[in-house]
Structure 1
Amino acid sequence: MRARAGGIAALVLGAVIWSAAPVSAAPAEGVQRTTIGAAERATALRFWTDARLRSARDLDAPPAASTPPAASAAGGRQAAPGTGEEVRVAPLPAPGAAAAAPALAASDPTPWTGGGLISTTAGKVFFQNAGGGTFACSATVANADNKSLVLTAGHCVVDAGTGEVYRNWVFIPGYANGDRPHGTFTASSLFHLDQYVATAGNANYDLAFARLAPLDGRSLGDTVGAQGIAFNAATGREVHSFGYGGSAAEGNGERLNHCSGVEYPDAGREGSTMWGIDCVQTGGSSGGAFLADFDAGSGGGYLVGDISVSAGSSEYHPVLGNEALDLYRQAGAA
């Protein structure tokens, strides 16, 4: 994500076409799925040496398009993400998880030392673009039928300008100072919304799911647990955000950081349906969790969005509406 609006230029991820890119398919209207085979996953595991993890750049969000091109040309307003009846999936406790310490209110990013479910389900994402650049984001395990999903930002999966889906995509749950306490999980499928690319990166649709392959015969959820997730949830309530920001004050991307506050609507971007809090986590936190109903005793809650963009002293997340629910159901069935 961006540290401040206008403070960091858009990160250009390259326009070189990668000839060996996996084949993408659309399993449902509005959903794009990229399937990654066993050979590519093995390559990803070999690729991400400790040295490459250290050299990966913390990814900043590209500027959020205020309206889709067609709407801008017509002078109209974009459609908001669909809403409907709330759907909630409860958290999955981690095996033998210890209780979390009480969560303290934080309007600036502070190190998360509370332990609990968030300490195992939050993690870092690493990937490579077609030009060979290596980058880092954040993601969070979301409970699903296949016990194998993480929620992250759309811009951590696909280049909205070119439609390029990134390769060598891995997730390291509980990442801390280069340690991989639960191993390195490779993506077997990546899912993003058609609208995100069709609108050239409108942040209202800046979300994605990754389906992770089992590691040593165990699913991601059975290894580290999973956060709950809620779609069409109520807004304007207390939320907690977690990410691996890359600034020196946030530990240079080597530790999990935490913010909290009562969320408010994004009033600064025409057509925005996003909600945010008075806090800014910097590049590398993109894709990190926004959790509602966060329980300080367990470290668990319900995902209601991912860290996407920031402006001034605020960071914002897209809402998880009907489009996100369709994406989740497709990813959870993969």
Structure 2
Amino acid sequence: MASRPVRSARTARTAALAALLLAAGTGCGGQDGAPTAEVARQSAARDRIGTLSIHTAQGPRACTASVVQSPRHNLLVTAAHCVQNHRIGLLDGLVFTPGYRNGSTPYGTWPVRSVTVDPRWSAGDDPEYDVAFVTVDAVDGRQVEDAVGGNPLGTGQGFGLSVSVTGYPNESDEPITCAVRTSSQSATQERFDCGGYTDGTSGSPWVTEKGAVVGVIGGYQEGGDTPSTSYSVAFDQRIADLYRKATA
């Protein structure tokens, strides 16, 4: 579970992994009568969520990520498949843009420095470990959590939670959001039903009413095969252990 530095950009390799990521199922899919996500209104809490893109805020999109509280104030959480693929390795040149809307970057763009994933993800893209913690460099001497705040990590809270899920579809310059209740997909995976979570929304945080992140779109089917049912690895002891490694 050791952090691994992100290598400098290699255009061909970056483009190949980006194509794999953008083609991956990254959202919900589901049941008749499920709600549909709406455009998320701007708020301080939602500004902790942003895009992961390549090289610049306007570059090719990979996924969504969000700031979580950490001792060094420089940590994001997202899905592991957003940042690493077993066949190709780490995605190079990623940057995080919190609060991105319609080309605006109100808090700047934060280069990714390192990625922490479980070795079982590294070894074979095991969907039971599709979570990554990502550190970003300071910008103008300021850490990202000091700029936008961060959500606490919530582990061991079980299923049946009321959450809001906010993320960035690749085809949109504004985030979408949906208020839903989680349910069990399996003993180690959770789900929710809401339409609109298409490519780009992998890594979107599942935030409880108390502000804790208890999931990210990913895991089973890399987050979902259709736009109306989404999945996450259950945030249990596995994720608590990974967070400790990322912040050690």
- The normalised TM-score by structure 2 is 0.82
Helix, strand or coil for the counterpart of 2:244? helix
Q: What's the % identity of the aligned pairs? A: 28
> Counterpart of 1:9?
none
Q: How does 1:53-132 map to 2 (within 5 A)?
A: 59-61=22-24, 107-118=35-46, 120-127=47-54
Query: Is residue 148–residue 332 contact of structure 1 (8 Å, CA) maintained in 2?
Result: no
Report the residue type matching 1:310 in the other structure: G
Distance 2:237 2:161 in 1: 20
- Which of 138, 141, 144 matches 2:67? 141
> Counterpart of 1:307?
217
- Tell me by how many angstroms 1:201 deviates: 2.4
Output one character per residue of 1:177-222: Cα deviation in whole Å (capped at 9) or x when no partner.
1221111101121111111233x32322111011111100011111
Report the residue type matching 1:237 in the other structure: L
Distance 1:332 1:126 in 2: 23
Compared CA separation, residues 318 and 154, structure 1 to 2 (3 A): same
Rg larger in 1 or in 2?
1
Query: Is residue 122–residue 242 contact of structure 1 (8 Å, CA) maintained in 2?
Result: yes
Query: Is residue 61–residue 286 contact of structure 1 (8 Å, CA) maintained in 2?
Result: no
Are positions 1:34 and 2:17 aligned together? no
- The normalised TM-score by structure 1 is 0.62
Query: Is residue 60–residue 286 contact of structure 1 (8 Å, CA) maintained in 2?
Result: no
- Tell me by how many angstroms 1:32 deviates: 4.0
> Counterpart of 2:14?
none
List 4+ stretches of structure 1 deviating above 6 A.
Answer: none
Structure 1 unpaired stretches of 5+: 1-30, 48-55, 64-105, 247-251, 295-300
- Which of 73, 76, 80 matches 1:154? 80
Are positions 1:289 and 2:211 aligned together? no
Output one character per residue of 1:84-106: Cα deviation in whole Å (capped at 9) or x when no partner.
xxxxxxxxxxxxxxxxxxxxxx9
Output one character per residue of 1:228-277: Cα deviation in whole Å (capped at 9) or x when no partner.
2111223212111111013xxxxx2311110121111116xxxx621111
Structure 2 unpaired stretches of 5+: 12-17, 27-33
Distance 1:32 1:158 in 2: 14
Distance 2:45 2:133 in 1: 19
Report the residue type matching 2:103 in the other structure: G
Distance 2:99 2:209 in 1: 21
Query: Is residue 60–residue 282 contact of structure 1 (8 Å, CA) maintained in 2?
Result: no
- Tell me by how many angstroms 1:60 deviates: 4.2
> Counterpart of 2:30?
none
- Which of 93, 97, 105 matches 1:168? 93
Distance 1:245 1:218 in 2: 28
Are positions 1:225 and 2:149 aligned together? yes
RMSD, aligned CA: 2.6
Distance 1:266 1:62 in 2: 17
Distance 2:244 2:2 in 1: 13
Are positions 1:254 and 2:224 aligned together? no
Query: Is residue 40–residue 175 contact of structure 2 (8 Å, CA) maintained in 1?
Result: yes
> Counterpart of 1:207?
131
Are positions 1:326 and 2:221 aligned together? no
Compared CA separation, residues 117 and 167, structure 1 to 2 (3 A): same
Helix, strand or coil for the counterpart of 1:329? helix
Query: Is residue 152–residue 288 contact of structure 1 (8 Å, CA) maintained in 2?
Result: yes
Report the residue type matching 2:157 in the other structure: A
Give the aligned length.
Answer: 225
- Tell me by how many angstroms 1:332 deviates: 2.1
Report the residue type matching 1:217 in the other structure: G
- Tell me by how many angstroms 1:141 deviates: 0.3
Compared CA separation, residues 311 and 168, structure 1 to 2 (3 A): closer
Distance 2:163 2:139 in 1: 31
Output one character per residue of 1:297-331: Cα deviation in whole Å (capped at 9) or x when no partner.
xxxx1001111112453111111222221221222
Helix, strand or coil for the counterpart of 2:107? coil
Report the residue type matching 1:125 in the other structure: L
Query: Is residue 116–residue 134 contact of structure 2 (8 Å, CA) maintained in 1?
Result: yes
